[in-house]
Amino acid sequence: MSEQLLTANEVVIALSKLGAELDATVTALKQAELDAANKRHEADQAESRAFVAADGSMDLRKHLARIAAAKQEQEALVAEAVCRYLKTRIRAIEVRVDIGRSYGAAVRAELAALPYDQSA
């Protein structure tokens, strides 16, 4: 919202836009969560396959497997970070909606306090 005072109608429009933004972000989060789950699975599988295929001591095989799965692990970490970002964005939108509701209540209270002439 801006620095200028809004009308009741403008508050409703702003809240409606926030609702649409929230819906879009929740949809994006769903896709990001699916992507992160798939990438995490791929990274875990790549590391396990490399571990099983490696020769040497347990520690050597573990580290060779991590090196072999580094690309998939990086992709999974980025996908998980996107999910955290979207969750933070959703919380921020919810706060903006709460602020808009409070602002709307203040506008309604101000309008109710204005004198009203029913004869006009």
Residues 6+ apart with CB under 8 A from 25: 86, 89, 90, 93
Residues 6+ apart with CB under 8 A from 8: 104, 107, 108, 111
Q: Give residue-wise pLDDT tens across range 78-93.
A: 999 999 999 999 999 9
The pLDDT, as a whole number, for residue 2 is 55
The pLDDT, as a whole number, for residue 120 is 61
The pLDDT, as a whole number, for residue 113 is 83
Give the model's confidence band at 62: pLDDT under 50 very low, under 70 low, under 90 confident, else very high. very high
**Alpha-carbon span 30 to 49, nearest angstrom:** 29
Q: Give residue-wise pLDDT tens across range 5-50.
A: 778 888 889 999 999 999 999 999 999 999 999 999 999 999 999 9
Examine the pLDDT at 4 and tell me if it is beyond 80.
no
Better-scored residue on pLDDT, 26 or 115: 26
Provide the mean pLDDT of the chain. Answer: 92
For 40-64, what is the mean pLDDT? 96
